[in-house]
């Protein structure tokens, strides 16, 4: 895979940032359950959280290959920070970029790009999960405003957000065609969040429910037109999967790095583990799958940059990279033996972080459905 010189330069820049700013930081984030404010500010300063936001609104205006590079290199060191970035870059910024009015972009997208605002994406609900048509959050037209009531769950950045992109039913009788999307500010009356979830992995990202109790949302904060919410969500997730796939790739590469480092240092029977044939076979299998995931991820990113709609490719990349991250993290932990089960070694955290990658932004089973639907339709 050959990347442009500017992409290789960007990769070096991100790696230097990771080495300089994130040396011992992942373990601290895992313990405290939050990303330090100074790191959040630096991510915004270097436009890592706004790489795909257009320059006219304060972003870097970069392509999706650049976005994938940022996600891979950051997540290689810390999956929690990768989650924070992809939430800002794709889940929040993309619907504003693609469907927002000039006024909405100026009011919400610009401060998001500049690091003055933190946003979140409220889609998942307790009883609906991936079934968007089963959502119970409702938006009632009150003339001058909509009144939103309902509950969203597992929302990344909810406890620290300034605004949320919220899906709600404006006409439940129409199913998915009755879904609309709104920009809802956290300071408005009736907007509250639940307790910060005590998660297994990606503990550094602050996650909670969003509770909406008759929140008055101005008509000007309807994103797109009424009934277009389902399309907005699908569009956002199609492109957002590229970021999550790149995150999974980074986690897989990070696990491989730890396995190689440990097996070179650990001596058994007067030889480093890396000298044993069984270890070499395992490392070879891991490295091959990581590289295969990398090719899928960057293929999807390049297709997006070429003006294509990579629904199939992004689903394949997300599915394969997520499953690879889990497999490689497991094998890396096995190579560590008992030490892999101890928090003193990074692989313990990486193993826990990897689990979410097959779950959020569409489970692996959802990706398989998307892939099969595309492949069968074409045959």
Q: Kindly report the CATH number assigned to the domain that includes residue 77.
A: 1.10.540.10
Which residues does 80 contact at the CB level (< 8 Å), separation at least 6?
A: 26, 29, 30, 35, 202, 203, 204, 205, 353
Number of C-alpha atoms within 13 angstroms, CB side, residue 168? 28
* Same-domain pairing of 82 and 141: no
Report the chain's C-alpha Rg in angstroms: 21
Predicted local confidence at residue 132, as pLDDT: 67
* Same-domain pairing of 262 and 370: yes
* Same-domain pairing of 263 and 192: no
Q: Which of 230, 263, 280 is the last residue of a domain?
A: 230
Residue 82, phi then psi, degrees to nearest 5: -60, -40
**Other CB atoms within 10 A of residue 177 CB:** 14
* Same-domain pairing of 366 and 259: yes
What are all long-range contacts of 53-60, with beta carbons under 8 Å and residues at least 24 apart? 53/89, 53/93, 53/97, 53/109, 53/112, 53/113, 54/97, 57/97, 57/105, 57/106, 57/109, 57/110, 57/113, 58/109, 58/110, 58/113, 58/114, 59/93, 59/113
* Same-domain pairing of 198 and 271: no
**CA 121 – CA 222 distance, rounded (Å):** 14
**What's the pTM value of the predicted model, to 2 decimals?**
0.95
Predicted local confidence at residue 208, as pLDDT: 97
Predicted local confidence at residue 302, as pLDDT: 96
Contact between 224 and 105 under an 8 Å Cβ cutoff? The reply is: no
What are all long-range contacts of 266-274, with beta carbons under 8 Å and residues at least 24 apart? 273/335
Which residues does 304 contact at the CB level (< 8 Å), separation at least 6?
A: 63, 64, 239, 242, 310, 314
* Same-domain pairing of 349 and 215: no
E strands, the chain, in order? 119-122, 138-141, 145-156, 163-169, 179-185, 191-193, 207-218, 222-223, 267-268, 271-272
Which residues does 143 contact at the CB level (< 8 Å), separation at least 6?
A: none
| Number of domains making up the chain | 3
CATH of the domain at 269: 1.20.140.10
The string over 229-264, giving b where at least 16 C-beta atoms fall within 10 Å of a residue's C-beta and e elsewhere, is: bbbbbebbbbbbbbbbbbbbbbbbbbbbbbbbebbe
Q: Which of 75, 93, 114 is the last residue of a domain?
A: 114
Closest by CA position to 369, among listed 331, 316, 329: 316
Which residues does 35 contact at the CB level (< 8 Å), separation at least 6?
A: 29, 80, 81, 84, 204, 205
Which residue segment(s) compose the domain that 126 sits in?
A: 119-230
* Same-domain pairing of 235 and 172: no
Predicted local confidence at residue 265, as pLDDT: 96
**CA 224 – CA 171 distance, rounded (Å):** 16
* Same-domain pairing of 102 and 124: no
Catalytic residue list? 361
* Same-domain pairing of 370 and 253: yes
* Same-domain pairing of 309 and 334: yes
* Same-domain pairing of 214 and 307: no
- Residues with pLDDT less than 70, the chain: 130, 132
* Same-domain pairing of 177 and 270: no
CATH of the domain at 145: 2.40.110.10
Q: Which of 210, 230, 250 is the last residue of a domain?
A: 230
């Amino acid at each position: 895979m050959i990347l442009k010189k500017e992409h290789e330069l960007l990769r070096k820049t991100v790696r230097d940032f990771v080495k300089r700013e994130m040396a011992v930081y992942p373990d601290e984030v895992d313990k405290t359950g939050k990303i330090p404010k100074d790191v959040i500010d630096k991510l915004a300063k270097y436009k890592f959280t706004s790489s795909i936001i257009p320059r006219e609104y304060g972003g870097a205006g970069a392509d999706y290959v650049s976005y994938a590079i940022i996600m891979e290199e950051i997540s290689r060191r810390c999956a929690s920070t990768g989650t924070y970035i992809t939430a800002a870059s794709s889940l929040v910024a993309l619907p504003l970029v693609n469907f927002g009015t000039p006024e909405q972009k100026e009011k919400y997208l610009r401060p998001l790009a500049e690091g003055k605002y933190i946003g979140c994406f409220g889609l998942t609900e307790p009883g609906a999960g991936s079934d968007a048509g089963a959502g119970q959050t409702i938006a009632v037209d009150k003339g001058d405003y909509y009144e939103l009531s309902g509950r969203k769950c597992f929302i990344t950045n909810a406890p620290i957000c300034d605004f949320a992109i919220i899906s709600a039913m404006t006409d439940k009788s129409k199913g998915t065609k009755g879904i609309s999307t709104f920009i809802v500010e956290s300071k408005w009356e009736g907007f509250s969040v639940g307790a910060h979830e005590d998660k297994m992995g990606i503990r550094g990202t602050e996650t909670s429910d969003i509770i909406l109790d008759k929140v008055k949302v101005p008509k000007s904060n309807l994103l797109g037109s009424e009934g277009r919410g389902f399309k907005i969500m699908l569009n956002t997730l199609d492109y957002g999967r590229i970021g999550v796939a790149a995150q999974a790739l980074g986690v897989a590469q990070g696990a491989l790095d730890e396995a190689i480092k440990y097996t070179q240092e650990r001596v058994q029977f007067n030889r480093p583990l890396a000298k044993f044939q069984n270890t070499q076979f395992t490392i070879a299998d891991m490295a091959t799958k990581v590289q295969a995931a990398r090719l899928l991820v960057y293929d999807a990113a390049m297709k997006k940059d070429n003006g294509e709609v990579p629904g199939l490719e992004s689903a394949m990349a997300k599915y394969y990279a997520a499953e690879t991250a889990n497999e490689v993290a497991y094998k890396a932990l096995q190579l560590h033996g008992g030490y892999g089960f101890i928090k003193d070694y990074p692989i313990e955290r990486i193993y826990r972080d990897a689990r979410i990658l097959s779950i959020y932004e569409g489970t692996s089973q959802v990706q398989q459905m998307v892939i099969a639907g595309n492949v069968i339709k074409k045959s």
